Structure 1
Amino acid sequence: MSRKSADYDADVIVVGAGPAGATTAYHLARTGLDVLLLEKTAFPREKVCGDGLTPRAVKQLVAMGIDTSEAAGWLQNKGLRIYGGGMRLELPWPDLAEFPSYGLVRKRSDFDEMLARHAEKAGARLLERTTVTGPVTDESTGRLVGVTAKPSREAGSDAVPEEVTYRAPLVIAADGNSSRLSVSVGLRRREDRPMGVAVRTYFTNPRHDDDWLESWLELWDGKPGQSNLLPGYGWVFGMGDGTSNVGLGLLNTSTGFQNTDTRALLKAWLSGMPEEWGFVDDQQVGPVRGAALPMGFNRQPHYSSGLLLVGDAGGMVNPFNGEGIAYAMESGELAAQIVAQALARPDGSSRERVLRTYPRALKAQYGGYYTLGRVFVKAIGDPRIMKLATRHGLPHPVLMRFTIKLLANLTDPRGGDAMDRVINAMCKVAPAA
């Protein structure tokens, strides 16, 4: 049931209707709260992504009641096919009680709109083409109590839309890596946390219906064997529609990161692919596009003075593998649960006590794991360690099964096998920061 007063336009305002914002809005609306979801673009819209979902993200879709069958337009995959050190290794997704044993592929233009419409069906009010221009704060407390926003100019019209103010007791920033709303209230990116960059494009490709996600672990900053091995990987994800999503991701932990031309690196990497795979200019579909990957809680605090951060706005990309969608959706669900409980209490200290549990809950869930991830990305920034890992790790299938569980964060939290228990223990003892 909505709890807004006459002073407010909604119970909660969610800024950004990507996976984090749409999932948050869906779960909030399901509790009966009046949710205003503001999106600066119009659906469908393109986002830079590998378009691949691990079982961790699939679990969230299932929990939201979304049909993940191939009949509903998804391409399911069995696991990872890894290339490196002169080897090719297929690693199925682990068989777990906590997560399904399959991943999915779907273009973000379709995926994001589906999630946003799902939130609408649950009762959220979605306003597209509405750019949030700044925060609205209470002058006496400094607390965020809304946002200002400007609708886009309608096609063919010379009229300049007027800025609108929307008010709510709580605002959720789901506006991605740049998170202008967070920056406008003083929450800036932490420079001591890793960042990644990803570039991708599409190719018409005979391997478009491959039911494995492919990961290539050797990216060189020059000719293979005559240069440094970079901390990152390339991917080929079949889309099932006649095209493959092809791209690469790099970490900023290597010494030459700032001088690396990722688009040129992508072209050089693809030039070494078999000719029959069709990764050539005349089969490319669309331009190469890039995006930043904010990792390991690189913007904090995740709650402060009426504002909660979810997904990329809070730097929740997995440092181990660059996955962001699963954590965007999980943090959205967690934020919605806590906000619903908070708004059931009177405004004041009782409500604040509930809201302050959100950062603690995030750290309890991801803090130790992200700390391990930061150690990992710092280590592989050394080309010698990266080379050692690819050359000597891949020949050991047991080690690689452990690695896929660690890198994809796929373990059973209670019980599980020996690998699960080791990984869970490592995450528990690692300090959350």
Structure 2
Amino acid sequence: MENAHVRSVDVQKGYAVVETAEGSFKSNVVIGADGVHSSCAKNVRQNFSKEQLAFLLEAEIHASNEFVDDYISNKCEFHFGDVKNGYGWVFPKEEHLSVGIGGISSSVSDPMGIFYNFVDKLGFDHVKPRGHFLPIGGAKRRTCADRIMLAGDAAGYVDSFLGEGIAYAIKSGNFAAETAIEAHQNKDFSQKFLSSYQGKCDDDFGSNLKYSLIFSRLFHRYDNFSARILTTNESVLNKFLYISTGRFGYLSFMMWVAPRLPYYALKALFWRP
């Protein structure tokens, strides 16, 4: 049932109840895929703190495809140094550009000021952004309780460095569906039984999210210099891009770059644009 606003999710003896603007619904188990401000999560864990959230401001700038091609030519721009513990971006899309900034919520004290400084630097004006939050992945969190499992952003399954969460949402959603089927087959909807869902997620991608958080902290400690190392060495950049394709994880990337870091750091130190 689409466009039915969820008012609350409560676990009672023998079933879960979802209260919506369209009525009340009972179920043996609920999969909460309802985003960073999840209604379901109140039954599972505490709300995310400011340190566990990233805040983003993004605007869609409408333009002709010719302008988009001339401006960015099938590339994506990442700007480091404009946002503490975050970055700015420009992505090409059909008849518009996606322009935004994002960083750890507790570090972004004046997001509107940062955003408008960023778009002014790029030469855009009359831009109205919209804001939203993302969980910072990698931390160990509860993702299930009696009769409830959290998936995607609601569970905190987001890459801490890139902010990408679609792949993890799809994977966790599949694992949650499998576990719900198993729970029905066994007639057991307890947290103990559903905890196998969290184990599946941890085994599949939990380590990568953990190391995405470690990498993000290391990178942003010296973000301008780190970005220079990443972008001035084609082999480093190509290995890093493997992460987004699933061919490489963050740990594998850091282990690969560690013995080569002195060479790449010296090369970046004397690099001139």
Task: Place the TM-score, normalised by the shorter chain, in its bin.
Answer: 0.7 to 0.9
Q: Deviations over 1:38-63 (max 9, x none)?
A: xxxxxxxxxxxxxxxxxxxxxxxxxx
1:220 maps to 2:67: no
Q: 1:280 aligns with which of 104, 125, 137?
A: 125
1:269 maps to 2:123: no
* Aligned position for 1:149: 20
CA distance in 2 between partners of 1:144 and 1:356 (Å): 18
Q: Which amino acid aligns with 1:272?
A: K
- What's the offset of the Cα at 1:262? 1.8
8 Å contact 2:15–2:26 — kept in the other structure?
A: no
1:208 maps to 2:68: yes
- What's the offset of the Cα at 1:364? 0.8
In structure 1, the gaps of 5 or more residues are 1-125, 152-163, 222-229, 413-418, 427-433
Q: Deviations over 1:269-316 (max 9, x none)?
A: 12222x5xxx222xx4xx310111102155832121110001111011
Q: 2:30 aligns with which of 171, 178, 198?
A: 171
Which structure shows the bigger proportion of residues in helix conformation? 2
8 Å contact 1:145–1:171 — kept in the other structure?
A: yes
* Aligned position for 1:303: 144
8 Å contact 1:199–1:248 — kept in the other structure?
A: yes
Q: Deviations over 1:65-96 (max 9, x none)?
A: xxxxxxxxxxxxxxxxxxxxxxxxxxxxxxxx
- What's the offset of the Cα at 1:369? 1.0
Distance of aligned partners of 1:270 and 1:192 in 2 relative to their CA distance in 1, 3 Å threshold: closer
CA distance in 2 between partners of 1:371 and 1:330 (Å): 16
8 Å contact 2:44–2:144 — kept in the other structure?
A: no
Distance of aligned partners of 1:399 and 1:297 in 2 relative to their CA distance in 1, 3 Å threshold: closer
TM-score (norm 2): 0.79
Q: 2:229 aligns with which of 368, 392, 399?
A: 392
Q: 1:328 aligns with which of 156, 160, 169?
A: 169
CA distance in 1 between partners of 2:4 and 2:254 (Å): 43
CA distance in 1 between partners of 2:228 and 2:253 (Å): 23
- Secondary structure of 1:380's match? helix
Q: Deviations over 1:208-230 (max 9, x none)?
A: 35663412232336xxxxxxxx3
TM-score (norm 1): 0.52
Runs of 4+ in 1 over 6 A off after TM superposition: none
Q: Which amino acid aligns with 2:237?
A: M
- What's the offset of the Cα at 1:409? 5.6
Q: Which amino acid aligns with 1:129?
A: A
Q: Which amino acid aligns with 2:125?
A: V
Distance of aligned partners of 1:338 and 1:425 in 2 relative to their CA distance in 1, 3 Å threshold: farther
Greater RCO, CA 8 A, separation 6+ = 1
Distance of aligned partners of 1:390 and 1:421 in 2 relative to their CA distance in 1, 3 Å threshold: closer
* Aligned position for 1:198: 56
1:364 maps to 2:239: no
- Secondary structure of 1:333's match? helix
CA distance in 2 between partners of 1:338 and 1:251 (Å): 33
Percent of matched pairs sharing the same residue: 19
- Secondary structure of 1:342's match? helix
Kindly tell me the number of residue pairs found equivalent between the two proteins: 252
- Secondary structure of 2:167's match? helix
CA distance in 2 between partners of 1:421 and 1:258 (Å): 28
Distance of aligned partners of 1:422 and 1:306 in 2 relative to their CA distance in 1, 3 Å threshold: same
CA distance in 1 between partners of 2:140 and 2:8 (Å): 20
Distance of aligned partners of 1:293 and 1:420 in 2 relative to their CA distance in 1, 3 Å threshold: closer
- What's the offset of the Cα at 1:170? 0.3
1:411 maps to 2:247: yes
1:235 maps to 2:89: yes
In structure 2, the gaps of 5 or more residues are 257-273
